[in-house]
Structure 1
């Protein structure tokens, strides 16, 4: 400091009149020299410092350079830092003002805060079986709303641990989480993480679109702050758990637990809770029913996070890792969904618009539903390829019309088309009971005789399945053996219109063509219609309206609908019912359904096969249950000789064997009055002259007794027919 630099006070710009113009004190030269600028005296003003101090404001000495006092080095540095602080404060203020403006702008794009409200969750329809167990959920969400107190503690904690571990400490936006996410994203040179809290995710789900933009993130933060102000943390977490998307159409943890694990959320294990907690990151990619290894790997991360924050003990995590969650298997894609679809089709008839969750109680028995699905799927898996049969349907109901099981197809996951309720196919000979009923109502009885012989109607000449003719036969035998010519003759006698009217009276609603071929079931109907119509035979003559819904209630238990007594009233005279049951009972005794008999039960029914073997039917019943099966192909392609007497009958027997097991046999109405004595049945079933059975066994054929004096040769006897069926797998 020997040169005097920095000793003087800081100099300011000198406005004194230069030497030579001292007289003109009123005139100021405001021009700045180099020395007048900050630091201007540092380079050339080494001398004259003390002199300048002595002169004060008198100006520099004559001949000297104008200068200003130099700053001390320390004070110069302090001024620089001060200016930096000052600039930082100014910039910060402007940033705050800009941010406030930005927030205000985006807030203005949202509804006013005083009008903001959490949107109502779309209502869920829980469809229950007759025992109260869940069959399926319907609605946009796929599951009901659950309270956080209903859930095991580790389930909500799984979401907090993996998605937002500071959830209970932040105010809706987590600066620490955002900073961490930014750091990791920069480190990984790409967008690897987001900083959204659970509250922000909820805000996005409730109010915003899936768009990814800075504007939406700002709105998300604003709404998160509002949610935190409006609700408690537990309420926010409960809203989140009921609104977040889990993939596969499941919104909310209850829907996800049912969809993936087949159980309510309150019953999930720790391993399952971890898998659900990990799903929300990428529902489609991590869905366990689509990518189980990825779902299990993500669940392991969730368990590690839960252990890290102290939500679970190390031993609990170890057990859960050793037994990872797996999705529940659902055979055939879940046939109960066919029932659920039917419920949704008819629900509007019972309740109007509803905004809250509802529960629908149905008539379906879960055990029978499972047995029906197994019987149908197993048969098609075993023999469908051999017979070229791709699809099937089954309907089983009580004689009053209450549906106990309904299968609309082989695999719901592959095809949601409900063949039980929607597909219209030719019923073939299973339509014949309506023809016979029309004849009985006009005076015929089971012992009335008609000729089984070639018949022609215009250019149409129907033939029997066997291409053989029995001659004079009773109606009882003709229906049991499904003789086409007798059915056509009866149809002509009573008139096609009478046949149509009889079928409609029993509940057939599809359009029927009143022509000669109606007697052979050429008009298309649904399995549900046919089984419902047969219900009148099983219950003693009361018309049946099939139904599946018994009650509808709100989530709080308020009754919205209850099924009352209903039906079509009496549609068949009691005596006629007895005759029809006696004739169709013979189908199991000597006829085309003989292989389907269940010991100890009185059964009745009818096989059916449409033209070119396109459709195969069997509809049979006891006094307590009516079941019908249809098999075929959706495109109408012919099967390889699938008939009512083979695959459908086998499915029917398998299912009914389970359904009737342990029950007390119920008699068929009026059967005993018109039942054929066993010895008479045996005599009628004896071989005809030259019968195939006698030829094969090398035994002389005895003349077959005829109900009428007229005697004429006939085709193969019933025993012959049974033997042929056994050899070649034929039979209707």
Structure 2
């Protein structure tokens, strides 16, 4: 109290009023805030000065590159696409057209010549718009900040990165002039499609250097910076033109061009055809990410030699575009006999959508899945000639129906496969086991989950086109595994080999006779079954596939060492009217394969089944040997010893049920061959067991597991003869 009173007295004596309450705190806050702001400015100045001192020199910044250049070559060495950075010629500030500078400043940083690297006014305006219009804060990076980010930083949106970006931008402004910064920016900014800098972009889109840019062309290029992929004139001409008109309007509003110059028509600009935006990009998008695994980390320019055949890729693209139903998408993948990918089409238009349906999409294969059902059946012992019954069947409450609802009755396995009988596939799958079918699919390279419910035999499990093509390629290879690959080798631009493909070790997936049997079935499908539209004038083996409501259509097959898989359908899985595997997909297959095999010799399929011994039907003469090698029964029922004439001689033992001749005494056996039993033979035991005699007289032919050491053959009698017991022989 004393101190407070003394302060009041002091205030009165000096004539000043004492500051109290909120005013006191506001004053303190202002003092402390000002002090902290001064310290912040001092700290920021030191940070900027330190950063400016650490920045590389101007010539060093000119020489830096921000990404790796990759040249992709086809199997014959021709260049098919160049990816990564393309920098064009470096243009000095005096060589850059003023209209290009004005266009970039108008759309990216209208206050470029007024700020010091960071634009406080622009930032405040963006915050005010965000608060009043309830929108997110719009982009506020200046040209200098964008340059700092492109050269020194990444593109994440963290607060730390933004702070460092601001410091580096002010450091650049400290160290370099506005013209130098703009020159660096225009020669380094990314415009999409691998083009870095205005000269590269001008050559890429308009086929001439940037020094010749017109007003409309400059507006198109300036409009790309915001979203290179969205506004690329090679991807979406309309979007690029609309964006260019926005740039022209801003230039007019800011007084950088006249009204007459602003009336140019960007849609009249002649664009260069971009070879990189074609279907081969589906392949490069699939193959090039593998370089991260195949190569050590490197940033030097490289050349990637691939398996793609340019002519086959062109033929595949045309086959898909011309045969895919309206509103649907199509995919094709073609493999050589060693797994080399000759062509890959992931959709009808890469520019419209770069989603690769050949390698990424998972769809139901329909009846094409029966490949694995019949492989399992053939491995279990079936042959193409075996008889099966095409009739209604119910398995665990599931009743499959054939296409068309008709049933053929008793047919052979070959016809059941060729005409894609669902009921037969269901019975075979049930017999061999649905788990066995799933295991067979996994064995042949299916990588997606597989259901083991009964309906799985009709292709209810989703698969990838590349996996199904791989499975059919293994059949083409005689039942040996095939590993798809697309990169042959990788070299530096000087020719040093960084990677070279080595053939994967092939493993036997099924025995030869199973591969021959399934090839027989596949060939019949094309010759006379559901795949007749895939005929190309030489042997073709293949299988169609159609899912419920015509949502998916498939054809997969091979000829002359080339295996090709085709899929068609909608991305949203809606039905496609009239889509069936035996129509458009088979037609696309034939259109492509006619070109693909034109320079290859005609190859006949090996469909001769060399069945294993356990599966062979016994041949009498082969099974029993020559007559001199075994006992046999003659026409009168007499047992003839090996090597003895047919005239009956001394019997080693009597025949059951037949009395011995009156002039010859019964001969006791020297070595009884079975348990003794009583009879009407004077009390002597039976010389041979019932089992032995049954086999000897043909009453019970030996099974595979009961093959006797000595074979017997029963000769057919010349006429009916009555046995002493009154039974007729041969019945």
- TM-score, length-scaled by structure 1: 0.58
> Residues 580-591 of structure 1: matches in 2 within 5 Å?
580-591=518-529
Q: Say whether residues 1:527 and 2:527 are aligned partners.
A: no
Residue 570 (structure 1) aligned with residue 508 (structure 2): yes
User: 1:161: Cα distance to partner?
Assistant: 4.8
1:613 equivalent in alignment to 2:550: yes
In the TM superposition, what are the counterparts of 1:103-502 in structure 2 within 5 Å?
Answer: 108-113=49-54, 118=61, 120-138=65-83, 142-144=84-86, 160-162=95-97, 206=151, 219-220=171-172, 222-224=174-176, 243-247=188-192, 250-252=195-197, 256=201, 260=205, 268-269=207-208, 274=213, 281-283=222-224, 288-289=233-234, 290=237, 291=240, 325-328=270-273, 334-380=278-324, 383-385=325-327, 390-502=328-440
Q: For 1:60-139, what aligned pairs fall within 5 Å after superposition?
A: 108-113=49-54, 118=61, 120-138=65-83
- Cα deviation, residue 584, structure 1: 0.7
CA gap of 1:415–1:488, structure 2 versus 1, over 3 A, is same
Q: In 2, distance between residues paired with 1:224 and 1:279?
A: 28
Structure 2 counterpart SS, 1:616? strand
Q: Does the C-alpha gap of structure 1 residues 538 and 217 become closer, same or farther in structure 2, counting only changes over 3 Å?
A: closer
Say which SS state the counterpart of residue 513 (structure 1) adopts: coil
Alignment check: 8 A CA contact 2:446 2:468 kept: yes
Q: Which moved more, 1:497-506 or 1:240-249?
A: 240-249
Residues 158, 273 of structure 1: 8 Å contact kept: no
Aligned to 2:484: 546
1:514 to 431, 452, 456: 452
Q: Which residue of 2 is the match for residue 61 of structure 1?
A: none
For residues 555-704 of structure 1, the aligned pairs below 5 Å read: 555-599=493-537, 601-661=538-598, 663-671=599-607
Q: How far 1:241 moved relative to its partner?
A: 8.3
**Bigger shift: residues 247-256 or 402-411:** 247-256
**Residues 554, 164 of structure 1: alpha-carbon distance in 2 compared, 3 angstrom cutoff:** farther
Change in 2 beyond 3 A, CA 1:342/1:114: closer
Kept in 2: contact 1:343–1:549 (CA 8 A): yes
Q: CA, structure 1 residues 252+560, in 2 after alignment: closer, same or farther (shift >3 Å)?
A: farther
After TM superposition, give the deviation of residue 611 of structure 1 in Å: 2.2
Task: Assess if the C-alpha contact under 8 Å between 2:51 and 2:168 holds in 1.
Answer: no
Structure 1: runs of 5 or more not aligned: 1-100, 149-154, 167-177, 180-197, 229-235, 262-267, 300-322, 675-732
Structure 1 residues 506 and 562, CA, compared in 2 at 3 Å: closer, same or farther?
A: same
Deviates more, 1:410-419 or 1:466-475: 410-419
| Offset, 1:667 | 1.4
The within-5 A match list for 1:17-56 is none
- Distance in 2 of aligned mates of 1:165 and 1:461: 71
Find the aligned partners of 1:480 and 1:329 in 2 and give their Cα distance: 45
Give the direction of change, closer, same or farther, for the CA distance of 1:573–1:457 in structure 2 (3 Å limit): same
Using a 3 Å threshold, how does the CA distance of structure 1 residues 546 and 255 change in structure 2: closer, same or farther? farther
Q: Shift of residue 591 of structure 1?
A: 0.6
Distance 1:330 1:448, change over 3 A: same
Structure 1 pair 254–133 and aligned structure 2 pair: CA distance change class (3 A) = farther
Distance 1:374 1:241 in 2: 39
| Cα deviation, residue 104, structure 1 | 8.5
CA contact (8 A) 2:426 2:454 kept: yes
What is the CA–CA distance in structure 1 between the aligned matches of 2:289 and 2:475, rounded to whole Å? 27
Rounded to whole Å, the distance in 1 between the matches of 2:192 and 2:298 is 25
* Ranges in structure 2 where 5+ consecutive residues have no aligned partner: 1-41, 102-112, 115-142, 156-161, 249-267, 611-731
Aligned partner of 1:505 in structure 2 is 443
Deviates more, 1:438-447 or 1:586-595: 438-447
Q: 1:391 to 1:114 in 2, by over 3 A?
A: closer
Deviation at 1:504, TM superposition (A): 1.4
Change (3 A) 1:357 1:594: same
C-alpha distance in 2, partners of 1:505/1:204? 50
Structure 1 residue 430, shift from structure 2 partner = 0.4
Give distance in 2, aligned partners of 1:224 and 1:108: 13
SS of match in other structure, 2:294? coil
- Alpha-carbon distance, 1:403 to partner: 1.1
Question: How far apart are the structure 1 equivalents of 2:293 and 2:285?
Answer: 14
For the aligned residue pairs, the C-alpha RMSD in angstroms reads 4.4
Q: Distance in 1 between matches of 2:370 and 2:154?
A: 59
Aligned partners of 1:103 and 1:218 also within 8 Å: no
Does the aligned pair in 1 maintain the 2:148–2:168 contact within 8 Å? no
**How far, CA to CA, are the matches of 1:548 and 1:529 in structure 2?**
15
Question: Taking structure 1 as reference, are residues 281 and 241 closer, same or farther at Cα in structure 2, changes over 3 Å only?
Answer: closer
Please, what TM-score do these two structures have when normalized by structure 2? 0.58
Relative distance call for 1:111 and 1:571 in structure 2 (3 A) is farther
Find the residue that maps to 2:430 and give its secondary structure: helix
Contact 1:620-1:626 within 8 A present in 2 as well: yes
Deviation at 1:557, TM superposition (A): 3.5
Cα deviation for residue 402 of structure 1 reads 1.0
1:326 deviates by: 2.1
Structure 1 residues 364 and 245, CA gap change in structure 2 (3 angstroms): same
Deviates more, 1:112-121 or 1:438-447: 112-121
Quote the Cα distance in structure 2 between the aligned partners of 1:668 and 1:567.
Answer: 26
> Structure 1's 650 and 481: CA in aligned 2 closer, same or farther, altered over 3 A?
same
Contact 1:271 1:324 in 2 (8 A): no
Change (3 A) 1:569 1:215: closer
Separation in structure 2 between the aligned mates of residue 531 and residue 328 of structure 1, nearest angstrom: 33
Tell me how many residue pairs correspond in the alignment.
492
- Superposed displacement of residue 360, structure 1: 2.4
Residues 125-134 or 501-510, more deviating:
125-134
Call closer, same or farther: CA 1:135–1:242 in 2, change over 3 Å: farther
Q: Deviations over 1:159-215 (max 9, x none)?
A: 82525999xxxxxxxxxxx99xxxxxxxxxxxxxxxxxx99998896359999x999
The C-alpha deviation readout for 1:502-545, integer Å capped at 9, x for no partner, is 12111112111223222211111100100011001112222011
What's the CA shift for 1:258?
A: 8.0
